[in-house]
Structures are given as C-alpha cells and as structure tokens.
Structure 1
Amino acid sequence: MRGSADVQGNSRPTEAGRRPSSALRAPSPRERGEGEDIAVIGGGIIGICAAAYLAEAGRNVTIFDRTGICEETSSGNAAAFAFSDVLPLAHKGMIRQLPRWLADPLGPLSIPPAYLPTLLPWLARFWRAGRSDRYEASLAAQAGLMRLAEAEWAGLMTRSGTTDMLREDGSLELYESEAEFRASLPGWAARQRFGIGFNHVEGDALAALQPGLSPRFVKGTFVPGWKTVADPKLLGKAVWAYAETKDACFEKARIDHIEAGQDGVTLTLADGSARQARHLVVAVGAWSHLLAKDLGDRIPLETERGYNTTLPKSAFDVKRMLIFSGHGFVVTPLETGLRVGGAVELGGIERPPNYNRSKALLRKAQNFLPGLDPSGGREWMGFRPSLPDSLPVIGRASQGGNIVYAFGHGHLGLTQAAATARLIRELVLGQNPALDLSSFSPNRF
C-alpha cells in the first residue's frame, strides 16, 4: 500500500497474551479460506479508527499498510483535536494572502515552480471553493462533522482506555497588529454561530495565558474548548491495541491495485500476490486517489506537505497550543516534546523533503518565543491529503457498493477520525449514516 502507518505482526493479544484458541470462537472468513471480511487499506489514524469501529461491531477486519500502524503522516501531526476549526481553508484568509506567501520560498505556502502546471486544476477548484455561494454549505457540513467528531472521540477514548492522553488546555491564536486581529473577526463570528466559545485577550490577560511571548503580539484569541493529545503516534497505537483486543489484524503490505467484483474486491499486492475481501475501506491518505482511479473515480486530491521539528520538552514552557495564523504554523506541547510545525508545500508525493522549511519555522518560533532553545530537535515531513473544498471524501465508490472511501481530511485527520469511522461503519453495515453525506460524496467533483 501507499500509505501511512507499524505493528508487531498479526498477533491479537488476549488477557493471557496470546491469540484466543480457535476452539473457543467461530473461525474467521480468512481461516475458512474465504478471504477477508473487511479490508482496510491504510494504517493511519483514519484506518485505525475505522478498523476499531468495525471490529467493535463484531466484524473481522484486517488493515493493510506498507509501513505499519501510525508510522507515517498520522505520527507527526500537531496533536490537535481542532473541533472549532470549521472554516474551509479557502475562507481563512489564504486566498487573500496567497501573493505575499508565495513570494517567500520558505513562507507559509510554497509551490515548487516545476509542480505548478500539475497543480493548476486543483488551484482553480480551490479558488472556486472560496466563492461566497459555496461558503454556507461547506461551513455547515464541516461544523456538523466536527460536532460528531467531538462526541465520537469522547466515546472511543473511554472505550479504548486512552482518556489520560487528552489535554484540555485550550488554544491561543496570536496577532501582530490590530489590522490582523480585525481581519480575523468574521471568522470568529462564523464560529460563534455554531456555538464555539472564544475570548479575545490582550495585555496582562494575554501574558497570563502564555508567559514569555514576544511583545510584537498585541492581541490573541483564546479558545477554551480546543483540545490536544499527549502524542498523536502514541494515541494511534493505543487505539490500535484496543482494536486488536476486538480481533482486528494487521498485514504489512503495499496494495498496488484494487478491482471490484460481483462478490467482493480483489487486492493486488506489490509482490504480485492477491487478497480477496467482501468489503473494502480505502483510507490511505495522500495516495487514496490513485487507488480510486482503479475504480473509475477521479478525485482531485492534492498533497500538502507539512513540516515540523520536535524539540525536547525543556525547550520552552509552552502552556497550550499556540497558533501563529499569519505565519501558518503552530507550537504544541506534547508528552514527548515541543512540536513546532505547519506551513504548506503543495508539491505532490514524489519530491524529496525540503527541510529548510522546518528550519525557517524554528527561526520564527525563536523570534516569537524569546529564550526558546532550538537544539536537539527532530525534523519531519508528512503528506496531508487535501481536497479543494476542505471537506473529506466519505462515501461509496462508483463501482461496487461494498467499497467505501475515507480520505482527504487535510489538516483534520486526527480531529475527524472517530466521526469518519462511525460513518464508515454505518455504510459498511447498511445503516443510516449519522450525517447527510452528500457534502462528502466522492461524486461531488
């Protein structure tokens, strides 16, 4: 597969630390020689949660991933449960700032010149997605998915025993001028319509929320309901460990081709072997559109290459996630370090990383947090699967109702994973989805 994510083999631990005896349970379809019941391609957080929800429903599930469980893009995100982040990217000031950002090769948004011809159709769709006549529908769809996501993550964390990984410290978005602050106000008014709480702060109140900030920041917005997790990789692996207790399996393999048939799906592996499955979930992030093309579905997915550096925890005493929206990056305190990351490089999945971008973010962080120690950091780059309207694809493939898509969440994969998993479970089981899925349809393009 071309995707995200590790695991230690196909073992499924029981309380005694070994697989349950076949004499004590019904044999799975695979053990009966019938292939998989449900195959999930992608071991990132979307695939992990989908597998957990389907395994909870008593279905036999196997995840296929080229690397492992939560080892690629889902391992290095900013660790946010960004339930208040309902504004589509095209409406968050990005279009207005595009010329300035693109003028700086190490700025918040970069497009390698050689990649621009490939990107132009996606950029045109992105521009159209920013039109006012599409705003309300996108905003309402995103807000509905976020409400479901918050409720579903609360339930999944309780069931999987991971609530101790939740951090409820809120977030602080920072502005360097009155003009920058005023430009943010329409977005906050839109959030307020959906019941999202926030407080604008300045002076002593701003300093109390984050001591040691540079005086260049004149105002901020505190969102008390914003949540983060201790570490996204650790959370993903913990949810997978829970799925294993429900008999979910993992197979390390790259899937090169999928084909729908009358009775199921054929998965062709990189080594030329094949697997059969009754149902298939495609959740392989930035590579998903390549597999969708096998089924005749052309989905305009692009890759936002995100960069970060994770510093030792002692680098600076950051109290909560800090959002530097004017510069396109965040700083998140994790259990495992201090993560400085963000920015967008629209450059596809083939180009080598440009770690000068992560170094540029770190230099900015030093200016914004005087006294930050930049030493001892680990650089990282991941592939965010992005669709022009900032909404994921959640729905059935055009060929075969037993194939469902779950990809294209952009910056919000961790945030929306549990909600997506519930919707995928309902589609696979033939139940009525908790949300109207028309806004997330693979055919909307």
Structure 2
Amino acid sequence: MSDTDQLEDIVIIGGGIIGVTAAYELSCAGRRVLLMDKEYPGAGASQGNAGHLATEQIFPVADASILWQVPKLLLDPLGPLAIDWRYAHRITPWLFRMLLNMRPAQQRRTMEGLAQLSGNSLAAWEDLLGRSGGQDLIRSRESLTVFERPATQRKLQRAMKQMQACDIPVTAIDGDEARERVPALGHSVLGALHFTATGHVADPLMLLEHIWVAAREQGARFVQAEAGDLTVSADTVRVETDKGPYRASQLLLACGAHSRNLVRQASGVNPPLDTERGYHLMLPAESDRLPMAIASAERRFIMTPMQGGLRLAGTVEFAGLERPANWRRAWVLRTHANQLLARDLDDDQAEPWMGFRPTLPDCLPVIDRIGANGRLLLAFGHHHLGLTQAAFTARIVRDLAEGGPPPVSIEPYRLSRFGRPKG
C-alpha cells in the first residue's frame, strides 16, 4: 500500500468557499478532514465573488421571457446575460431545461428552495464567524437594489410582495431617501428596495482564508492534488489523483463548476451542470465611496465596498470553461456604475477578473448524501449564491455526514431530480 493509500476519515474535493466551510464544520464535529484541490484554497471563483450576502435573492436567474431574447443574447456580448455564439450549440439543451423549470409550479419550488437556504444564511454566517473569531469580516447588514425606470418600479413592487411572503425584511424607498442613505447615488436613481437582513464581507478571499485557518486549528489538513477516477464501495471511497490514490470512509464533492465528471463517475447521474462566467472590476482607489452594497435592477450588477476597494461585479456569460475571458465585460461595469453615481469612479489601478460559477438549470444546488452506506456527500451548483449559502450548506453537510437529520429538508436539493443514483 502506498503512503497516500491510508484510510482517511473524510476527504473533501474542492477548496472553494463551500468546501472550506464544510471542512470547518466537520472538523468542529470531531471529524478528521483532508481537503483536496488542484490549487490552494480560495484560488478559484470564491476569491472573486461580489462579496454580497444576498439573502434577498430568491428568484431564478431568468424567466420564460428569455426565449424571445436569445437572438439578442447572441448578438450583444456586453449585455447582462450573454451567450457566446460559439457555445450556443452546447448551452441550448441546458437553456431548454431551464425554460422547463420556469413553469409556475417549478418556479415556486425553486423560490421555496432558495428562500429556505438564503433565509438561514445570515444567521449561519454570524454563528460560524462568532465561533471562529471572525465577526468583523461581515460589514454592513443592509443593502439597496436601485432602479432607474418607472416600469421597473412596478416589477419590484410585485417582487417585494413575494419576498415579504418569504419573510424577507424589505421596504420600498424613493430616490431622495436612497440618496440620503447613500449620498454617492446620482439622480438617475428613482427609488430602491431597502434590505435590512443582507450584508457584505470585508474581502471574500480574506474570509475564506480565515475559515481555513480555523479549520486547520481544528485538525483539518490540505493536499494539493488533482482528483481523477472515483470508486465508491460499501466500505470506502477511493480517489485516484496525480499524487497517488486516497481512500476515505466518506467523500464530499464540492468542486463547483468542475463537479460534473466526478459526480457522474461516482453516482452514475450526469447532472446538467454548466457555468456562469462571472466578471468583476476591482477599484482600489474607491474604498470609501459606498457604505453598503448597491445592486442595479436593470443593469444586473452590484457595487460592493471592500477592504481593498470597490468591487463592481455581476452579469452572466455562457461560454464554457475553455474560452478566454472577454475583458470588455468587466470594464463595461465601470460604465454602468458611473451612470448610477453622482460622480465618476476613479479607475486608477483597476483590476478585472473572471471566474466560473457552477449553475444548474433549476437554479438550486445539489446538497445530498448518496452511495453505499451514504459514503458520498454532495454540495455543488450554488451558481452566484455560493458565498451567501456556504455557511448554512456546511451545517447541512455536517449533519448529513454524521447521519443525523439536517436543519431543513434537503428534498429540493437532491441529486435524484436529475436521475437515480447508483448504489
């Protein structure tokens, strides 16, 4: 038996925010955790997210009206939702499945599933950071979603009623009150929805690194290795890697946009996982411009104040994992921001970024325990809500790993909605 082929307690594949928060919770529960990733923890999409704890986002990414927008999506590479024409043939079946999920019954199921996760997310983060000594990593507990068109106001009023029905604290304010709360906003802003149970983090990578340090203090270990073939048996899970084989009593797959092949190998189910390519533009000279996160209802992006500056993030691009980044999508965020603000932003030393957000056509993640004797745990597909839902997802995973009842029903998140797992 090789040195790497010793029996581990639980191996987590994926060093992003989902995998790292799960590593912390499992370590606190007394489990011996080995975290595995081909890069260091936080090197992927988790370092570049918007930093917003988006507990208000209970709606799917798109609705059935997207069907009529497909020609525009193919022709406008800088729009809030874009499809690279070279990827259109690959994404079409996925879009069709997404449209099927826009039927009223399915949409209600999605909203209920998102509300269940997001509604518990802020409290879960406050608990996790309270235990690990990172309370100051969450900043303002409020945010605004602003609008610029009267027609948008009517849509937001309907959305607000749905949010209130899901117990989301939200009120409507006019443009003057929005500018009283955030003086940097310009007069193009007609009004806003004001949320008081959201928030943002000082820096997403700093947050992840803090949690990983806390997990290591509880005994978690890390190996930089790329996972290959998986074999799940009644006794163990075996992982072939470029550093040799690893065996574990349990395995958690939490590798985001790269989860699909490993899930298919281990479960026999081929989840329809694709990737939203998310962009941000970091402005180091603008750390004091905004007191809270500001989202735009029409422009589909968000401005988040962070320790290292102002982060402009958002938009959705479908172009797969292989195409090079379209950096114009990052820079157009500056144009959008300037049109919302009273004074143009200082873009000195601005840095663009692009990362892959794992998304499933019903906009719900997979959180499950499957396989022989429940040895395989799954937590992937959180699309643009990975940061928001990570702490509560980790709590669910901890309970599933321990064989106890999770804090909420996992029925909306089971892998079986895409096919029957083997074992």
Normalising TM by the smaller chain, what interval? Answer: over 0.9
Give me the whole-angstrom Cα distance separating, in 2, the residues matched to 1:38 and 1:334: 34
Match of 1:46 among 7, 13, 18: 18
* Structure 1 alignment gaps of length 5 or more: 1-29
Give me the whole-angstrom Cα distance separating, in 2, the residues matched to 1:398 and 1:105: 42
Q: Paired residue for 1:65?
A: 37
Give me the whole-angstrom Cα distance separating, in 2, the residues matched to 1:208 and 1:117: 48
Task: Report how far residue 318 of structure 1 moved.
Answer: 1.3
Match of 1:429 among 402, 405, 422: 402
Question: Does 46-55 or 311-320 show the bigger shift?
Answer: 311-320
Once the two structures are superposed, what CA deviation does each residue of 1:186-243 show, in whole Å capped at 9, x if it has no partner? 2111100021122212242121122232322212111122111101100010011111
Q: Paired residue for 2:173?
A: 201
Give me the whole-angstrom Cα distance separating, in 1, the residues matched to 2:9 and 2:398: 13
Task: Report how far residue 99 of structure 1 moved.
Answer: 5.8
Give me the whole-angstrom Cα distance separating, in 1, the residues matched to 2:144 and 2:249: 46
Task: Report how far residue 151 of structure 1 moved.
Answer: 2.5
Is the 2:124–2:391 Cα contact (8 Å) retained in structure 1? yes
* Structure 2 alignment gaps of length 5 or more: 419-423
Is the 2:175–2:187 Cα contact (8 Å) retained in structure 1? no
| Aligned-partner SS, 1:443 | helix
Match of 2:278 among 295, 303, 306: 306
Give me the whole-angstrom Cα distance separating, in 2, the residues matched to 1:133 and 1:94: 18
Task: Report how far residue 400 of structure 1 moved.
Answer: 5.9
CA 1:400/1:381 → structure 2, altered by over 3 Å: closer, same or farther? farther
Task: Report how far residue 90 of structure 1 moved.
Answer: 3.2
* TM-score, structure 1 normalization: 0.89
Q: Paired residue for 2:197?
A: 225
Once the two structures are superposed, what CA deviation does each residue of 1:380-402 show, in whole Å capped at 9, x if it has no partner? 10100001111100012456620
Q: Paired residue for 1:416?
A: 389
Read off the aligned partner of 2:104 and give its amino acid letter.
S
Read off the aligned partner of 1:220 and give its amino acid letter.
A
Q: Paired residue for 1:407?
A: 380
Give me the whole-angstrom Cα distance separating, in 2, the residues matched to 1:64 and 1:355: 30
- Is 1:276 matched up with 2:247? yes
Q: Paired residue for 2:359?
A: 386
Once the two structures are superposed, what CA deviation does each residue of 1:331-382 show, in whole Å capped at 9, x if it has no partner? 1000111101111111111111111110111222223223211221111101
Task: Report how far residue 168 of structure 1 moved.
Answer: 2.4
Task: Report how far residue 325 of structure 1 moved.
Answer: 2.4
Read off the aligned partner of 1:393 and give its amino acid letter.
V
Give me the whole-angstrom Cα distance separating, in 2, the residues matched to 1:100 and 1:213: 30
Q: Paired residue for 2:421?
A: none
- Is 1:184 matched up with 2:163? no
Is the 1:366–1:374 Cα contact (8 Å) retained in structure 2? no
Match of 1:90 among 51, 62, 67: 62
Give me the whole-angstrom Cα distance separating, in 2, the residues matched to 1:310 and 1:57: 37
- Is 1:76 matched up with 2:76? no
| Aligned-partner SS, 2:417 | coil
Is the 2:141–2:198 Cα contact (8 Å) retained in structure 1? yes
Once the two structures are superposed, what CA deviation does each residue of 1:157-210 show, in whole Å capped at 9, x if it has no partner? 111101011112411111111111112222111100021122212242121122
Residues 46-445 of structure 1: pairs in structure 2 closer than 5 A:
46-91=18-63, 102-271=74-243, 273-295=244-266, 296-314=268-286, 317-369=289-341, 370-398=343-371, 401-445=374-418
Q: Taking every aligned residue pair, what percent have the same amino acid on both sides?
A: 35
| Aligned-partner SS, 2:100 | helix
CA 1:48/1:409 → structure 2, altered by over 3 Å: closer, same or farther? same
Is the 1:307–1:342 Cα contact (8 Å) retained in structure 2? yes
Give me the whole-angstrom Cα distance separating, in 2, the residues matched to 1:101 and 1:214: 29
Give me the whole-angstrom Cα distance separating, in 1, the residues matched to 2:291 and 2:64: 25
Task: Report how far residue 74 of structure 1 moved.
Answer: 0.4
CA 1:315/1:48 → structure 2, altered by over 3 Å: closer, same or farther? closer
Give me the whole-angstrom Cα distance separating, in 2, the residues matched to 1:217 and 1:97: 26
Give me the whole-angstrom Cα distance separating, in 2, the residues matched to 1:130 and 1:222: 27
| Aligned-partner SS, 1:81 | coil
